[in-house]
């Protein structure tokens, strides 16, 4: 049984992870955290996560306390800033991590890289198996189609999502850019006004927000007289949660370093 801490248990993903880990024989929950000063601190984690039967595990707002309960892995879907702090704490105590938070910039990502010198970390903007297969297929399509197609990425998420574009859309765009020999300046995040003809090098990344959309990503390859659309639609957060648990079992057996879901799933590196 993998001794596991889940951070941000009141969140959409935190509560999903708590429910899934609780019902799995492979995991034993040794810690549950919430933001400092959260009203759920001290409550039973199941209550905080709006689940049924109590777990007998109180929510704490200090990750160190949860780590000291013999944790082997932390699963962290909170925010980029919180994950940076959590990774530093895990690195100090030698506890492996799965980070699903998104919204990293170069600086915050580098700080995760620093922590991953001391502990194994899976950093994955999308832990669903399906999306990771789609990322690999998108790279393969780009490689085969070559330069003759205009590539655009479209993502849609629920109205509460804070970061834009999604971490998955960014990962798709980066993988497509690297396959097609494009630069980060070729990524185009918005278009408005008298923009003139589209350049051949652009990779557009566009965002929709609304309602309760769990997460949708489409890569368009627009050609002359034809187009290809590669779409992934998540209809439940359980797929992210199940992938994160799979990553947790995997990362707890690894050496220190930074990994992604392609490593967990044994997919060809993109």
Ligand X SMILES: NC(=O)C1=CN([C@@H]2O[C@H](COP(=O)(O)OP(=O)(O)OC[C@H]3O[C@@H](n4cnc5c(N)ncnc54)[C@H](OP(=O)(O)O)[C@@H]3O)[C@@H](O)[C@H]2O)C=CC1
Enumerate the active-site residues.
157, 161
State how far the Cα of 150 lies from the Cα of 178, in Å rounded to an integer: 15
Q: Which of 15, 126, 179, 206 binds ligand LZUJQKHR (CB under 6 A)?
A: 126
Residue in the shown chain whose Cβ atom is closest to ligand X: 11
Check binding of 127 to ligand X (CB under 6 A).
yes
Asked if the bond preceding 165 is cis, omega within 30° of 0, the reply is yes
Q: Which does 7 bind (CB under 5 to 8 A by kind): ligand X, ligand LZUJQKHR, none?
A: ligand X
55-94 binders of ligand X (CB under 6 A): 77-79, 82
Check binding of 165 to ligand X (CB under 6 A).
no
124 is in an annotated binding site: yes
State how far the Cα of 59 lies from the Cα of 46, in Å rounded to an integer: 9
Check binding of 100 to ligand X (CB under 6 A).
yes
Q: Count CA atoms within 13 Å of residue 134 on its CB side.
A: 23
Q: Which of 102, 179, 206, 239 binds ligand LZUJQKHR (CB under 6 A)?
A: 102
Q: Count CA atoms within 13 Å of residue 17 on its CB side.
A: 34
Check binding of 126 to ligand X (CB under 6 A).
yes
Which candidate, 152, 144, 196, places its Cα nearest to that of 177? 152
For ligand X, the closer CB: 120 or 125: 125
Q: Which of 4, 11, 171, 246 binds ligand X (CB under 6 A)?
A: 11
Helices 129-145 & 238-251, crossing angle to 10 degrees? 90
């Amino acid at each position: 049984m993998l001794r596991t801490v889940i951070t941000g248990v009141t969140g959409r993903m935190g509560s999903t992870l708590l429910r899934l880990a609780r019902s799995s024989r492979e995991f034993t929950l040794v810690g549950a955290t919430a933001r400092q000063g959260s009203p759920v601190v001290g409550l039973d984690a199941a209550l905080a996560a709006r689940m049924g039967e109590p777990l007998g595990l109180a929510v704490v707002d200090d990750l160190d306390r949860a780590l000291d309960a013999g944790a082997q892995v932390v699963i962290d879907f909170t925010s980029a800033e919180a994950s940076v702090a959590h990774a530093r704490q895990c690195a100090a105590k030698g506890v492996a991590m799965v980070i699903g938070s998104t919204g990293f910039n170069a600086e915050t990502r580098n700080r995760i890289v620093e922590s991953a010198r001391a502990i194994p970390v899976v950093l994955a903007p999308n832990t669903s198996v399906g999306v990771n297969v789609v990322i690999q297929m998108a790279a393969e399509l780009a490689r085969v189609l070559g330069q003759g197609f205009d590539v655009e990425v479209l993502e849609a998420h629920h109205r509460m999502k804070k970061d834009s574009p999604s971490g998955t859309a960014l990962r798709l765009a980066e993988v497509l850019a690297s396959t097609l020999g494009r630069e980060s300046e070729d990524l185009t995040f918005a278009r408005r006004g008298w923009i003139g003809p589209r350049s051949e090098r652009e990779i557009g990344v566009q965002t929709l927000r609304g309602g309760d959309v769990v997460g949708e990503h489409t890569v368009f390859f627009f050609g002359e007289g034809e187009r290809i659309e590669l779409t992934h639609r998540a209809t439940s957060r359980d797929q992210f949660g199940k992938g994160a648990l799979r990553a947790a079992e995997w990362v707890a057996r690894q050496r220190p370093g930074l990994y992604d879901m392609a490593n967990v799933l044994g997919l060809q590196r993109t």
